[in-house]
Amino acid sequence: MRLSVSIQAEDFDVSYELAHLRANDARIGAVCSFVGTVRERNEGSDVSSMELEHYPGMTEKSITAMMEEAAKRFDIYGVRVIHRIGLLQPQDQIVLVAVTSAHRGMSFQACEFLMDYLKTQAPFWKKEVTPEGARWVDARVSDDK
């Protein structure tokens, strides 16, 4: 089982990450990936930038535990999570969740499970800068499954 998490300020290359996750594992028949990006509008306001903060060490440990939980719940072979921190602009990539499995159903379910966790429980804090000023962003109820 390949489980890998990175918290980083740098952007990521989705093609590279997926190829690396799939490398040398002929069992894989499905790869499901999700990439989240910074929107230019949120809750009716223009967003000029977003700042993401985290709790170093605790964040990685928490995400790893959730990836291990996904591996127990779903028949998957590997998971790669990258979450960016720092100052981001509209259209910048924020997060990648990629999951491999033999069949698509398990990959889709595990990917959704992990994204729901990242959006609602992972120790990240998002602050958006808008023309009205800066505001902290709360998790949406629809993400909390």
Q: Where are the domains of the chain?
A: 2-137
Say which CATH superfamily domain 2-137 falls into. Answer: Molybdopterin biosynthesis MoaE subunit (3.90.1170.40)
Q: Residue 90 pLDDT more than 80?
A: yes
Q: Are 116 and 39 in contact (CB under 8 A)?
A: no
Per-residue pLDDT of 18-27, as tens digits, reads 999 999 999 9
Mean pLDDT of 36-47: 91
Mean pLDDT of 90-95: 98
Mean pLDDT of 108-124: 96
Q: What is the pLDDT of residue 43?
A: 82
Q: Residue 138 pLDDT more than 90?
A: no
Name the pLDDT band for 137 (thresholds 50, 70, 90): confident
At position 42, the amino acid (one-letter code) is N
- Select from 62, 86, 79, 83 the least CA-distant residue to 7: 83
* pTM of the predicted model as reported, rounded to 2 decimal places: 0.92
